[in-house]
Structure formats: C-alpha cells, structure tokens
Amino acid sequence: KAGVTQTPRYLIKTRGQQVTLSCSPISGHRSVSWYQQTPGQGLQFLFEYFSETQRNKGNFPGRFSGRQFSNSRSEMNVSTLELGDSALYLCASSLLAGGNEQFFGPGTRLTVL
Amino acid sequence: AQSVTQLGSHVSVSEGALVLLRCNYSSSVPPYLFWYVQYPNQGLQLLLKYTSAATLVKGINGFEAEFKKSETSFHLTKPSAHMSDAAEYFCAVSGGNQGGKLIFGQGTELSVKP
C-alpha cells in the first residue's frame, strides 16, 4: 500500500506570494492533519480534516488555510508569505479522526526569500 | 492542556550501548502516547504507540517504551544501539478533547559513536 505523498517536495517563494501544498493520504484513510516544523518552534499542529470538514485547528493566523476533497486528498494554502513561514510542512493521514496513529508523508520544504 | 517534555536535546551513545531517551507528558485525560523517528530530509516514522493496553510497548527496530502513569513518563529504550539509529526522535501525546491533534516534544537528536 502506498504511503502518504506530498507535492511538491521543495518550493521557493518570495515574500507576499501565496503557495498551495498538496497531500494524498494512504488509500482508505479519511483523516488528514498538517504540521509545520521549524528549528525554533519544533513541530506544531496546523489543522485536521475528516470527511471534508475541518475538525481541529492550531494557533496559526488566518493566512494558513486548508481543505479536503471527497477523495480525502488535502491541500493547504498560505497567503501573503512571510520569511517566518519557511519550514517543512508535514502531512499525516490516519484511518479515522481523533487520537489514533498518524502516518506521515516526506514533507514539503518551503523556503520564503 | 496537554504537553510533552523531552529531557536532553542531544544524546550520544556508543554502538552497542543502551539507548535511553526520556519523555514526560502532562495530560488531564488518559493519553495516547507515541514515539516517532525522523531521519534527515524525511518525514516522521512511527516507532511505537501506547493506547491504554499493555504498559510496556514494543516497537520497530528493537525499540520499546514503558508507560508509567505515576511518573507521567514514557521513556524510549533500546538495549543495543546501532549506527543506523542515529536520527531525531520525537515523543508525542494526543487524546481527550484535542482529538487527533498530536502535541510533540522538542525532539532528541541521537548520535551513535563507533
């Protein structure tokens, strides 16, 4: 069974631009969560989607948004990019929502110049 | 609120020596606890999980962890370190009204000396 895939793997943007990251969960998994990883803040939860509905949201500004499609694939969008948004963005999928083990993708490395 | 503290941002052991990575958690509800490993330029791989069954949990690659409620700890151990164990390790907690949200510790970088 294929794992979680994320595209693109690397991305370079400039301040003020917007970016969309994509995540395809493991087949049959209906829950997708997103995390931001930076050297200073570590791993921080962004949001969780299940059956196209956002179930949980972390403490990030409204510039960070996401959505989930009927096939469970998910996208996250960051608008008006700032230098501090440079990070590894990780997507994780799980079979069901809430508290169960999550399987992570390889991440998208975003660099904002 | 739930939180995780990993003691020691860097741990260095010799090949063949015991690996002990410490994790303490704070949770007002019975937690789910996890250990993940991250190799350079990769995502997180689940090593093991505690979900209120056996308190001693065995994972992949010879790792195990023991849930001690009285000490609010979930330390990760491996009897004999291998060079390939060098990586960053993260302890995480979820559960209660946090749903599927994982709260991670700051991570411990494990170095293995030949």
CB contact under 8 A, A33 and B49: no
Tens place of pLDDT per residue across chain A (113 aa): 689 999 999 999 999 999 999 999 999 999 999 999 999 899 999 999 999 999 989 999 999 999 999 999 999 999 999 999 999 999 999 988 765 789 999 999 999 99
Q: What single-letter DSSP state applies at residue B97? A: G
State yes or no: pLDDT of B78 exceeds 70: yes
State yes or no: pLDDT of B49 exceeds 70: yes
- B72 and chain A: CB distance < 8 Å anywhere? no
Chain A residues touching residue B98 (CB < 8 angstroms): 56, 99
- The lowest-confidence range among A24-33, B3-12, B81-90, B91-100 is B91-100
CB contact under 8 A, B106 and A33: no
Mean pLDDT of B58-73: 94
Residue with tokens 């963005």: A89
Chain B residues touching residue A48 (CB < 8 angstroms): 99-101
Residue with tokens 């700890």: B73
Distance CA A7, CA B59 (A): 29
What angle (nearest 5°) sits at the alpha carbon of residue A9, between those of residues A7 and A12? 110
State yes or no: pLDDT of B14 exceeds 90: yes
CB contact under 8 A, B42 and A35: no
Distance CA B19, CA A1 (A): 32
CB contact under 8 A, A104 and B45: yes
- A94 and chain B: CB distance < 8 Å anywhere? yes
Q: Which two tokens stand for residue B13?
A: 């052991």
- Across the interface, of A48, A55, A105, the residue whose CB is closest to B43 is A105
* Predicted pLDDT of residue B96: 63
CB neighbours of A76 closer than 8 A, spacing ≥ 6?
A20, A21, A23, A34, A46, A47, A64, A65, A66, A89, A91
pLDDT tier at B28, thresholds 50, 70, 90? confident
Chain B residues touching residue A101 (CB < 8 angstroms): 34, 46, 49
State yes or no: pLDDT of B18 exceeds 70: yes
* Predicted pLDDT of residue B114: 94
Mean pLDDT of B51-73: 91
- B95 and chain A: CB distance < 8 Å anywhere? yes
Distance CA B81, CA B102 (A): 27
State yes or no: pLDDT of B97 exceeds 80: no
Give how far B82 is from chain A: nearest CA, Å.
23
What angle (nearest 5°) sits at the alpha carbon of residue A35, between those of residues A2 and B92? 90
- A106 and chain B: CB distance < 8 Å anywhere? yes
State yes or no: pLDDT of B109 exceeds 80: yes
Report chain B's mean pLDDT, rounded to a whole number.
91
How would you label A30-65 residue by residue, b for 16+ Cβ within 10 Å and e otherwise?
Answer: bbbbbbbbeeeeebbbbbbbbeeeebbebebeeebb
Give how far A47 is from chain B: nearest CA, Å.
8
- A95 and chain B: CB distance < 8 Å anywhere? no
- Across the interface, of B42, B49, B99, the residue whose CB is closest to A98 is B99
